[in-house]
Structure 1
């Protein structure tokens, strides 16, 4: 650490501490991640070495740059480029979300970072606001690859990963057979939180997290229901049943079922139709229905951003393909689906306008009724006052007698 002057503490976690430092020779600000322990714990050692290996694999403007790694007194130090804030701090400052164009710019950069990771066969598995660094120029940097893993042919990964609010249903159900689509779900959660300042699915436990998701999204898939029934941690809890969102279901049979809020209602009036369509393409209960990171970048929601930000396009991609055995959505079919979804969104907008007019008329009628009620109460008050006055006058006359 003789090379660096410690300025202060940037952050702390279970792994150790992140120090804000200055390179004594160049004056460059850096973030130094100092790990706890002496590295003798086998699990910690493997995790740390894997993080270093992954960080050396990736090279992208939207992924925090690892400058160097070294050991001092059996402690490992990782030196990163310095960023001023993380996304959690920005959310806390804004309180009620950030500007829609800023949301679009940040989510685009996050998609670019994850596209690079996934192309290089890496699942991040811990996408959350704290792990999104933001520099003064607005550049977003994905960081903290402590939970990241290389894609496996077997798809057999650790069950417990990701901060609860950003976990996809398959992670909550403790499956170890998941894909890069868990990162895509997390992008959608981040997008919703940036929009209104509130976590999209703020569950207080694993079972509550599932319930919160289902209240918005509806039923689990058949495969997820099977996982749920086999998980002993959920044995005491019965799954709620929701109305189907599509198909010609029997209305009478659905009359006793719960009605999910849906993303359309949850974010009504908070984002553009194009933004909502994009987010809905990420937040899908079935992992195979979610867009890939590459498909995300082709979505109309990001139209014009590449041309407007040429400085962000000088990326060095190693172009290591992701495991071809993992389920991939078909590109051409997905494009057709996007067109169909655009048409459906037009119909939704028409319905929204109708609903808005109904709400206006209802509000007007409600105000008219309130006015009538106020006038009626005022008359009653006058009559009561007059009656009280008569009684007072009568009492005075009786006393005079």
Structure 2
């Protein structure tokens, strides 16, 4: 009897459950690891046609998460290709910080807030120690497990800091809106506050907006909290407090102490789909929400639409899978399924902001803040 394709063996290992979300790059499923009984999340990423090349966002996320092992960073369990798609297997997380914030039945005490902030900073401190910039910090990328532990997730935009000639791409059409919100909250930075600002490659001079008192933005915050926030929100990176320094701030040692994660309030768990509602032959399951994920709520019409159905795994994916040698020794993590020689490839260069874009940005900002001051 012929030996089964190793890629199919991996695919058959996971029993797919319900869809958790759909994003730009693919679909996220909940799944069961039939070998361990562990619930996992599987992000299925569409790699596109051959002429479109490799999805470097997905490969970058895999590479970075293999280096970032910490209780406050999401664990990437495995990665394997199948039928032109890449599947990332993550530990399953019950919810995220955005759901906690939006739940009107949840009241966050000062100790709860302090706990969530502390766990976020712990994850960030590990990233920065490894010279990794997350670059997409927001509540729905801060996942929360059943034990209350908060973990940083979605490293698709993350970059290694300090590489020679490294250029970072812009985030898109929302840059102006983001700058407007930052300036409205903290005022526009001046050369006196940030001397090196005028030497930035895409520097734009914009209309001055005074900073409102920090207390007006956070009226219920303690003096220690405001002091920490003022140090974290400093424009000049040379003067700004680091993540590790923030963790050592007196805010975290003063009363009330951070709430123990297991005691943090969380949204009520969603109703679990019955096994009979899921085709056990339909394939695997997925974890952390993909970028720009659209949350799909239980009971919604079209929840199991055809566009979200996972193809059944077959025996044709064996040529994609190669086992990577584990250099950590016998007690280290299990090797992953993906051939990391792909990281030797370089993505195409992306355009940077032009002088025309810079002029357009300045006009938009002057118009926005000019209207606010009228």
TM-score by shorter chain over 0.5: yes
Residue 223 of structure 2 corresponds to residue 273 of structure 1: yes
**Which whole-Å deviations, capped at 9, do the CAs of 1:250-304 have from their partners, x for residues lacking one?**
xxxxxxxxx4323122212x11111111111111122222111111111111127
Deviation at 1:226, TM superposition (A): 6.5
3-state SS in 2 of match to 1:287: coil
3-state SS in 2 of match to 1:144: coil
Alpha-carbon distance change, 74 to 294 in structure 1, aligned in 2, over 3 angstroms: same
RMSD: 3.1
| Higher RCO (CA < 8 A, seq sep 6+) | 2
Residue 192 of structure 2 corresponds to residue 241 of structure 1: no
Map 1:2-401; keep pairs closer than 5 Å: 2-38=12-48, 40=50, 44-94=54-104, 98-154=108-164, 156-161=166-171, 205-222=174-191, 223-224=196-197, 231=204, 239-242=206-209, 259-268=210-219, 270-303=220-253
3-state SS in 1 of match to 2:43: strand
**Which whole-Å deviations, capped at 9, do the CAs of 1:189-210 have from their partners, x for residues lacking one?**
xxxxxxxxxxxxxxxx533432
- The answer on whether the counterparts of 1:221 and 1:285 sit within 8 Å (CA) in structure 2 is no
CA distance in structure 2 between the aligned counterparts of 1:41 and 1:295, rounded to whole angstroms: 46
CA distance in structure 2 between the aligned counterparts of 1:150 and 1:121, rounded to whole angstroms: 6
CA distance in structure 1 between the aligned counterparts of 2:247 and 2:212, rounded to whole angstroms: 28
3-state SS in 2 of match to 1:94: coil
3-state SS in 2 of match to 1:17: strand
- The answer on whether the counterparts of 1:134 and 1:140 sit within 8 Å (CA) in structure 2 is yes
CA distance in structure 1 between the aligned counterparts of 2:260 and 2:112, rounded to whole angstroms: 13
Deviation at 1:27, TM superposition (A): 1.9
Partner of 2:278: none
TM-score (norm 1): 0.56
Alpha-carbon distance change, 95 to 309 in structure 1, aligned in 2, over 3 angstroms: closer
Counting matched residue pairs gives 248
Alpha-carbon distance change, 140 to 240 in structure 1, aligned in 2, over 3 angstroms: same
Of Structure 1 and Structure 2, which has the larger fraction of its residues in helix? 1
- The answer on whether the counterparts of 1:6 and 1:19 sit within 8 Å (CA) in structure 2 is yes
3-state SS in 1 of match to 2:32: strand
3-state SS in 2 of match to 1:2: helix
CA distance in structure 2 between the aligned counterparts of 1:48 and 1:283, rounded to whole angstroms: 30
CA distance in structure 1 between the aligned counterparts of 2:257 and 2:211, rounded to whole angstroms: 36
- The answer on whether the counterparts of 2:115 and 2:260 sit within 8 Å (CA) in structure 1 is no
Larger radius of gyration: 1
- The answer on whether the counterparts of 2:74 and 2:91 sit within 8 Å (CA) in structure 1 is yes
Q: Specify every segment of 5 or more residues in structure 1 that has no aligned partner in the other structure, as ranges.
A: 165-204, 232-237, 243-258, 317-401
CA distance in structure 2 between the aligned counterparts of 1:60 and 1:214, rounded to whole angstroms: 34
Alpha-carbon distance change, 67 to 306 in structure 1, aligned in 2, over 3 angstroms: farther
